[in-house]
Amino acid sequence: MKQSPKHPMIEQLIQSQILFLEQFCKNHSSIQTEGEHLYQWLSQKQLQDFLTDEQIIRYIRECFLKNPIPHDLLMHFAKQMQSCATHTLNEESQIQEVIQVMAIDRLASFIAEQTHLRSSIIHFMVHHQSFSTIMSELLNHAIQNYFEETLASKTPSHVNRFMKMGKSMFENMTDATFEKTITQYIEKNIPKIRQLSEYVLVNHLTNERVYHLQAELWHQIKEKKLVELNEFLNSNDYPELISIINDFWNGLRETNYFNTVISDHIYQWYELHKTQKLEYFFNLLGLNHQAIQTEIIMIITPVVKKLINDGYLKSRLHPILEAFYAQDDVQACLKQIQ
Protein backbone atom coordinates (compact mmCIF):
# COMPACT_ATOMS: atom_id res chain seq x y z
CA MET A 1 0.00 0.00 0.00
CA LYS A 2 1.11 3.54 -0.74
CA GLN A 3 2.42 5.24 2.40
CA SER A 4 1.67 8.87 3.25
CA PRO A 5 4.50 11.26 4.13
CA LYS A 6 5.11 11.63 7.85
CA HIS A 7 3.01 14.71 8.43
CA PRO A 8 2.16 15.54 12.06
CA MET A 9 -1.43 16.45 11.23
CA ILE A 10 -2.04 13.18 9.36
CA GLU A 11 -0.57 11.17 12.23
CA GLN A 12 -2.78 13.09 14.65
CA LEU A 13 -5.83 12.33 12.51
CA ILE A 14 -4.92 8.64 12.42
CA GLN A 15 -4.47 8.47 16.17
CA SER A 16 -7.76 10.31 16.74
CA GLN A 17 -9.66 7.99 14.41
CA ILE A 18 -8.21 4.88 16.06
CA LEU A 19 -9.05 6.25 19.50
CA PHE A 20 -12.59 7.03 18.38
CA LEU A 21 -13.10 3.52 16.97
CA GLU A 22 -11.65 1.90 20.09
CA GLN A 23 -13.97 3.89 22.36
CA PHE A 24 -16.91 3.10 20.08
CA CYS A 25 -16.16 -0.63 20.18
CA LYS A 26 -15.68 -0.62 23.95
CA ASN A 27 -19.18 0.77 24.41
CA HIS A 28 -21.55 -2.13 25.00
CA SER A 29 -24.58 -0.27 23.76
CA SER A 30 -22.77 0.63 20.53
CA ILE A 31 -21.95 -2.99 19.83
CA GLN A 32 -25.50 -3.99 20.69
CA THR A 33 -26.96 -1.40 18.35
CA GLU A 34 -24.67 -2.38 15.49
CA GLY A 35 -25.43 -6.05 16.12
CA GLU A 36 -29.15 -5.36 15.89
CA HIS A 37 -28.72 -3.38 12.66
CA LEU A 38 -26.56 -6.13 11.18
CA TYR A 39 -29.15 -8.74 12.14
CA GLN A 40 -31.96 -6.71 10.57
CA TRP A 41 -29.98 -6.28 7.37
CA LEU A 42 -28.89 -9.91 7.10
CA SER A 43 -32.30 -11.33 8.03
CA GLN A 44 -33.89 -9.75 4.97
CA LYS A 45 -31.31 -11.11 2.53
CA GLN A 46 -31.83 -14.33 0.61
CA LEU A 47 -29.62 -17.40 0.76
CA GLN A 48 -28.68 -17.00 -2.90
CA ASP A 49 -27.30 -13.53 -2.15
CA PHE A 50 -24.35 -15.13 -0.36
CA LEU A 51 -24.06 -18.80 -1.36
CA THR A 52 -24.45 -20.98 -4.42
CA ASP A 53 -25.17 -24.69 -4.42
CA GLU A 54 -21.66 -25.37 -5.75
CA GLN A 55 -20.11 -23.43 -2.88
CA ILE A 56 -22.06 -25.45 -0.32
CA ILE A 57 -21.08 -28.73 -1.94
CA ARG A 58 -17.43 -27.69 -2.13
CA TYR A 59 -17.46 -26.65 1.53
CA ILE A 60 -18.97 -29.98 2.66
CA ARG A 61 -16.50 -31.96 0.59
CA GLU A 62 -13.49 -30.00 1.83
CA CYS A 63 -14.51 -29.98 5.50
CA PHE A 64 -16.19 -33.37 5.97
CA LEU A 65 -15.67 -35.73 3.04
CA LYS A 66 -12.19 -35.11 1.65
CA ASN A 67 -10.18 -35.91 4.77
CA PRO A 68 -10.66 -38.42 7.59
CA ILE A 69 -11.49 -37.29 11.10
CA PRO A 70 -8.19 -36.70 12.95
CA HIS A 71 -7.25 -39.51 15.33
CA ASP A 72 -6.72 -37.07 18.20
CA LEU A 73 -10.27 -35.75 17.81
CA LEU A 74 -11.68 -39.29 17.85
CA MET A 75 -9.75 -40.14 21.00
CA HIS A 76 -10.86 -36.87 22.60
CA PHE A 77 -14.47 -37.82 21.88
CA ALA A 78 -13.86 -41.29 23.34
CA LYS A 79 -12.38 -39.74 26.46
CA GLN A 80 -15.43 -37.53 26.91
CA MET A 81 -17.69 -40.56 26.57
CA GLN A 82 -15.62 -42.38 29.18
CA SER A 83 -15.93 -39.41 31.52
CA CYS A 84 -19.72 -39.44 31.11
CA ALA A 85 -19.90 -43.21 31.64
CA THR A 86 -17.82 -43.07 34.84
CA HIS A 87 -19.36 -39.92 36.30
CA THR A 88 -20.15 -40.18 40.00
CA LEU A 89 -23.79 -39.22 39.39
CA ASN A 90 -24.26 -42.49 37.50
CA GLU A 91 -24.04 -44.37 40.80
CA GLU A 92 -27.13 -42.68 42.20
CA SER A 93 -29.13 -41.71 39.13
CA GLN A 94 -31.77 -44.05 37.70
CA ILE A 95 -32.43 -44.67 34.02
CA GLN A 96 -35.93 -43.22 34.32
CA GLU A 97 -34.42 -39.92 35.50
CA VAL A 98 -32.68 -39.31 32.18
CA ILE A 99 -35.13 -40.96 29.75
CA GLN A 100 -38.71 -39.73 29.66
CA VAL A 101 -41.36 -42.41 29.89
CA MET A 102 -43.39 -40.71 27.16
CA ALA A 103 -40.48 -41.06 24.75
CA ILE A 104 -40.24 -44.76 25.61
CA ASP A 105 -43.97 -45.14 25.06
CA ARG A 106 -43.78 -43.51 21.63
CA LEU A 107 -40.84 -45.71 20.65
CA ALA A 108 -42.63 -48.85 21.87
CA SER A 109 -45.75 -47.94 19.91
CA PHE A 110 -43.73 -47.25 16.78
CA ILE A 111 -41.87 -50.58 16.97
CA ALA A 112 -45.07 -52.48 17.73
CA GLU A 113 -46.77 -51.05 14.65
CA GLN A 114 -44.05 -52.29 12.26
CA THR A 115 -46.04 -55.43 11.41
CA HIS A 116 -44.60 -55.98 7.94
CA LEU A 117 -41.00 -55.48 9.10
CA ARG A 118 -41.52 -57.86 12.03
CA SER A 119 -42.98 -60.54 9.75
CA SER A 120 -40.06 -60.13 7.32
CA ILE A 121 -37.52 -60.55 10.13
CA ILE A 122 -39.30 -63.66 11.44
CA HIS A 123 -39.43 -65.13 7.92
CA PHE A 124 -35.71 -64.47 7.42
CA MET A 125 -34.79 -66.01 10.76
CA VAL A 126 -36.82 -69.22 10.55
CA HIS A 127 -35.74 -69.88 6.95
CA HIS A 128 -32.07 -69.34 7.67
CA GLN A 129 -29.88 -72.44 7.75
CA SER A 130 -28.71 -71.60 11.28
CA PHE A 131 -32.30 -71.83 12.53
CA SER A 132 -32.68 -75.26 10.91
CA THR A 133 -29.44 -76.47 12.48
CA ILE A 134 -30.37 -75.19 15.94
CA MET A 135 -33.89 -76.65 15.81
CA SER A 136 -32.54 -80.00 14.58
CA GLU A 137 -30.05 -80.20 17.42
CA LEU A 138 -32.58 -79.14 20.05
CA LEU A 139 -35.23 -81.63 18.93
CA ASN A 140 -32.65 -84.39 18.54
CA HIS A 141 -31.28 -83.84 22.04
CA ALA A 142 -34.75 -83.55 23.53
CA ILE A 143 -36.00 -86.83 22.02
CA GLN A 144 -32.82 -88.71 22.85
CA ASN A 145 -32.80 -87.40 26.41
CA TYR A 146 -36.38 -88.49 26.83
CA PHE A 147 -35.61 -92.03 25.68
CA GLU A 148 -32.41 -92.21 27.72
CA GLU A 149 -34.11 -91.01 30.89
CA THR A 150 -37.04 -93.34 30.36
CA LEU A 151 -34.91 -96.39 29.56
CA ALA A 152 -32.57 -95.66 32.48
CA SER A 153 -35.41 -95.28 34.93
CA LYS A 154 -34.86 -97.10 38.24
CA THR A 155 -38.54 -97.97 38.48
CA PRO A 156 -39.19 -100.29 35.51
CA SER A 157 -42.65 -100.16 34.04
CA HIS A 158 -44.48 -101.83 31.20
CA VAL A 159 -43.88 -98.75 29.05
CA ASN A 160 -40.20 -98.81 29.93
CA ARG A 161 -39.81 -102.46 28.95
CA PHE A 162 -41.86 -101.91 25.77
CA MET A 163 -39.66 -98.98 24.70
CA LYS A 164 -36.47 -100.98 25.26
CA MET A 165 -37.84 -103.88 23.25
CA GLY A 166 -39.02 -101.56 20.43
CA LYS A 167 -35.69 -99.80 20.23
CA SER A 168 -33.80 -103.10 20.12
CA MET A 169 -36.08 -104.62 17.46
CA PHE A 170 -35.85 -101.45 15.31
CA GLU A 171 -32.04 -101.45 15.36
CA ASN A 172 -31.89 -105.21 14.61
CA MET A 173 -34.27 -104.86 11.63
CA THR A 174 -32.43 -101.86 10.09
CA ASP A 175 -28.83 -100.93 9.48
CA ALA A 176 -29.30 -97.52 11.17
CA THR A 177 -29.03 -96.69 14.83
CA PHE A 178 -32.02 -95.26 16.63
CA GLU A 179 -30.26 -91.92 17.07
CA LYS A 180 -29.44 -91.65 13.36
CA THR A 181 -33.04 -92.42 12.44
CA ILE A 182 -34.29 -89.63 14.74
CA THR A 183 -31.87 -87.20 13.10
CA GLN A 184 -33.01 -88.18 9.60
CA TYR A 185 -36.65 -87.85 10.57
CA ILE A 186 -36.12 -84.36 12.01
CA GLU A 187 -34.15 -83.20 8.97
CA LYS A 188 -36.89 -84.50 6.69
CA ASN A 189 -39.52 -82.51 8.58
CA ILE A 190 -37.52 -79.28 8.99
CA PRO A 191 -39.54 -77.47 6.25
CA LYS A 192 -42.73 -78.18 8.20
CA ILE A 193 -41.05 -77.05 11.43
CA ARG A 194 -40.03 -73.82 9.71
CA GLN A 195 -43.54 -73.13 8.49
CA LEU A 196 -45.06 -73.95 11.87
CA SER A 197 -42.50 -71.81 13.71
CA GLU A 198 -43.13 -68.85 11.42
CA TYR A 199 -46.90 -69.24 11.79
CA VAL A 200 -46.71 -69.42 15.60
CA LEU A 201 -44.31 -66.46 15.92
CA VAL A 202 -46.24 -64.19 13.56
CA ASN A 203 -49.53 -64.93 15.26
CA HIS A 204 -48.12 -64.71 18.78
CA LEU A 205 -46.18 -61.48 18.31
CA THR A 206 -49.13 -59.21 17.63
CA ASN A 207 -48.80 -55.43 17.84
CA GLU A 208 -50.33 -55.44 21.30
CA ARG A 209 -48.06 -58.18 22.62
CA VAL A 210 -44.92 -56.55 21.19
CA TYR A 211 -45.92 -53.28 22.82
CA HIS A 212 -46.48 -54.96 26.21
CA LEU A 213 -43.19 -56.86 25.95
CA GLN A 214 -41.38 -53.53 25.60
CA ALA A 215 -43.41 -52.04 28.45
CA GLU A 216 -42.42 -54.98 30.68
CA LEU A 217 -38.76 -54.51 29.74
CA TRP A 218 -38.97 -50.80 30.59
CA HIS A 219 -40.46 -51.53 34.01
CA GLN A 220 -37.66 -54.04 34.66
CA ILE A 221 -34.84 -51.59 33.91
CA LYS A 222 -36.23 -48.12 34.67
CA GLU A 223 -35.11 -48.15 38.33
CA LYS A 224 -31.63 -49.48 37.60
CA LYS A 225 -28.69 -47.15 38.17
CA LEU A 226 -26.95 -45.70 35.15
CA VAL A 227 -23.67 -47.21 36.29
CA GLU A 228 -25.14 -50.68 35.65
CA LEU A 229 -25.13 -49.94 31.92
CA ASN A 230 -21.35 -50.33 32.03
CA GLU A 231 -21.96 -54.06 32.46
CA PHE A 232 -23.08 -54.21 28.82
CA LEU A 233 -20.39 -51.93 27.37
CA ASN A 234 -17.26 -51.26 29.36
CA SER A 235 -16.10 -47.66 29.20
CA ASN A 236 -12.60 -48.88 28.30
CA ASP A 237 -14.04 -50.21 25.04
CA TYR A 238 -15.20 -46.77 23.83
CA PRO A 239 -11.98 -45.92 21.91
CA GLU A 240 -12.20 -49.18 19.99
CA LEU A 241 -15.94 -48.72 19.37
CA ILE A 242 -15.45 -45.20 18.04
CA SER A 243 -12.59 -46.39 15.85
CA ILE A 244 -14.80 -49.11 14.36
CA ILE A 245 -17.61 -46.63 13.68
CA ASN A 246 -15.07 -44.31 12.09
CA ASP A 247 -13.95 -47.13 9.79
CA PHE A 248 -17.52 -47.38 8.49
CA TRP A 249 -17.63 -43.60 7.99
CA ASN A 250 -14.31 -43.55 6.14
CA GLY A 251 -15.51 -46.28 3.82
CA LEU A 252 -18.80 -44.47 3.17
CA ARG A 253 -17.46 -40.95 2.59
CA GLU A 254 -15.06 -42.16 -0.10
CA THR A 255 -17.70 -43.89 -2.21
CA ASN A 256 -19.03 -42.33 -5.40
CA TYR A 257 -22.49 -43.32 -4.23
CA PHE A 258 -22.37 -41.21 -1.07
CA ASN A 259 -20.79 -38.21 -2.78
CA THR A 260 -23.39 -38.32 -5.55
CA VAL A 261 -26.29 -38.63 -3.09
CA ILE A 262 -24.99 -35.70 -1.04
CA SER A 263 -24.54 -33.52 -4.12
CA ASP A 264 -27.98 -34.36 -5.51
CA HIS A 265 -29.60 -33.69 -2.16
CA ILE A 266 -27.91 -30.29 -1.82
CA TYR A 267 -28.92 -29.32 -5.37
CA GLN A 268 -32.54 -30.16 -4.57
CA TRP A 269 -32.44 -28.50 -1.15
CA TYR A 270 -30.83 -25.35 -2.54
CA GLU A 271 -33.38 -25.07 -5.33
CA LEU A 272 -36.17 -25.18 -2.74
CA HIS A 273 -34.56 -22.75 -0.28
CA LYS A 274 -32.39 -20.36 -2.28
CA THR A 275 -35.01 -17.60 -2.14
CA GLN A 276 -35.59 -18.05 1.59
CA LYS A 277 -34.59 -15.09 3.69
CA LEU A 278 -31.76 -15.65 6.13
CA GLU A 279 -34.18 -14.91 8.96
CA TYR A 280 -35.71 -18.32 8.27
CA PHE A 281 -32.35 -20.05 8.82
CA PHE A 282 -31.57 -17.88 11.85
CA ASN A 283 -34.81 -19.03 13.46
CA LEU A 284 -33.96 -22.67 12.70
CA LEU A 285 -30.68 -22.17 14.59
CA GLY A 286 -32.41 -20.34 17.44
CA LEU A 287 -30.74 -17.06 16.47
CA ASN A 288 -33.75 -14.80 16.78
CA HIS A 289 -33.65 -11.09 17.57
CA GLN A 290 -33.50 -11.74 21.30
CA ALA A 291 -30.60 -14.17 20.91
CA ILE A 292 -28.65 -11.56 18.93
CA GLN A 293 -29.18 -9.01 21.72
CA THR A 294 -28.04 -11.36 24.47
CA GLU A 295 -25.98 -14.42 23.58
CA ILE A 296 -24.20 -13.23 20.43
CA ILE A 297 -23.37 -9.79 21.80
CA MET A 298 -22.14 -11.34 25.05
CA ILE A 299 -19.73 -13.51 23.06
CA ILE A 300 -18.50 -10.75 20.74
CA THR A 301 -18.02 -8.01 23.37
CA PRO A 302 -15.09 -9.57 25.33
CA VAL A 303 -13.40 -10.56 22.06
CA VAL A 304 -13.52 -6.95 20.78
CA LYS A 305 -12.26 -5.62 24.10
CA LYS A 306 -9.36 -8.07 24.02
CA LEU A 307 -8.46 -6.95 20.49
CA ILE A 308 -8.33 -3.35 21.70
CA ASN A 309 -6.47 -3.98 24.97
CA ASP A 310 -3.81 -6.09 23.24
CA GLY A 311 -3.23 -3.38 20.65
CA TYR A 312 -4.21 -5.66 17.78
CA LEU A 313 -6.94 -3.36 16.46
CA LYS A 314 -4.59 -0.38 16.48
CA SER A 315 -1.79 -2.31 14.79
CA ARG A 316 -4.13 -3.28 11.96
CA LEU A 317 -5.90 0.08 11.57
CA HIS A 318 -2.79 2.29 11.59
CA PRO A 319 -1.21 1.06 8.30
CA ILE A 320 -4.64 1.02 6.62
CA LEU A 321 -5.33 4.63 7.59
CA GLU A 322 -1.79 5.62 6.57
CA ALA A 323 -2.45 4.16 3.13
CA PHE A 324 -5.78 5.99 3.03
CA TYR A 325 -4.22 9.38 3.68
CA ALA A 326 -1.50 8.65 1.15
CA GLN A 327 -4.05 8.55 -1.68
CA ASP A 328 -3.71 11.44 -4.10
CA ASP A 329 -7.35 12.46 -3.90
CA VAL A 330 -7.22 12.46 -0.08
CA GLN A 331 -4.03 14.55 -0.16
CA ALA A 332 -5.78 17.00 -2.49
CA CYS A 333 -8.70 17.29 -0.09
CA LEU A 334 -6.39 17.94 2.83
CA LYS A 335 -4.61 20.69 0.91
CA GLN A 336 -7.95 22.35 0.21
CA ILE A 337 -8.83 22.25 3.93
CA GLN A 338 -5.55 23.82 4.79
> Is 69 within a domain?
no
Encode burial over 110-140: b for 16+ CB neighbours within 10 A, e otherwise. eebeeeeebeeebeeebeeeebbeebbeebb
pLDDT in tens, 60-96: 999 999 999 999 999 999 999 999 988 999 999 999 9
pLDDT in tens, 89-140: 999 999 999 999 999 999 999 999 999 999 999 999 999 999 988 888 888 8
**What pairs with residue 94 in β-bridges?**
225
CA distances from 312 to 1, 315, 318 (A): 19, 5, 10
Among 265, 285, 267, residue whose Cα is nearest residue 55? 267
Whether residue 186 sits in one domain with residue 123: yes
Whether residue 301 sits in one domain with residue 219: no
pLDDT for residue 38 is more than 80: yes
CA distances from 277 to 36, 102, 286 (A): 17, 36, 15
Give the mean pLDDT of the chain: 87
Q: What's the rounded mean pLDDT across residues 179-183?
A: 74
Whether residue 214 sits in one domain with residue 105: yes
CA 295 to chain centre: 26
Final residue of a structural domain among 180, 197, 224: 224
Final residue of a structural domain among 224, 245, 260: 224
pLDDT in tens, 156-172: 555 555 555 555 554 55
> Is 199 within a domain?
yes
Total number of domains in the chain = 2
pTM metric for this prediction:
0.74
Q: What's the rounded mean pLDDT across residues 230-249?
A: 90
Q: Which amino acid is at 74?
A: L
Whether residue 108 sits in one domain with residue 25: no
> Is 93 within a domain?
no
Confidence class of residue 334 from pLDDT cuts 50, 70 and 90?
confident
> Is 75 within a domain?
no
Please tell me the predicted confidence (pLDDT) of residue 151: 55
Encode burial over 165-175: b for 16+ CB neighbours within 10 A, e otherwise. eeeeeeeeeee
Please tell me the predicted confidence (pLDDT) of residue 338: 65
**What sign for the dihedral angle of Cα 72, 78, 81, 82?**
negative
Whether residue 37 sits in one domain with residue 112: no
**Across the chain, which distance is largest between two alpha carbons, in Å?**
134
CA distances from 242 to 74, 162, 245, 298 (A): 7, 63, 5, 35
Q: What's the rounded mean pLDDT across residues 256-283?
A: 95
Q: Which amino acid is at 72?
A: D
- Between CA 193 and CA 115 the distance in angstroms is 22
| pLDDT, greater one: 287 or 254 | 254
Please tell me the predicted confidence (pLDDT) of residue 157: 54
Q: Based on the number of CB atoms within 10 Å of its own CB, is 307 exposed (0-12), middle (13-18) or buried (19 or more)?
A: middle
The secondary structure of residue 175, as a DSSP letter, is S
> Is 109 within a domain?
yes
Owning domain of residue 167: 101-224
> Is 264 within a domain?
no
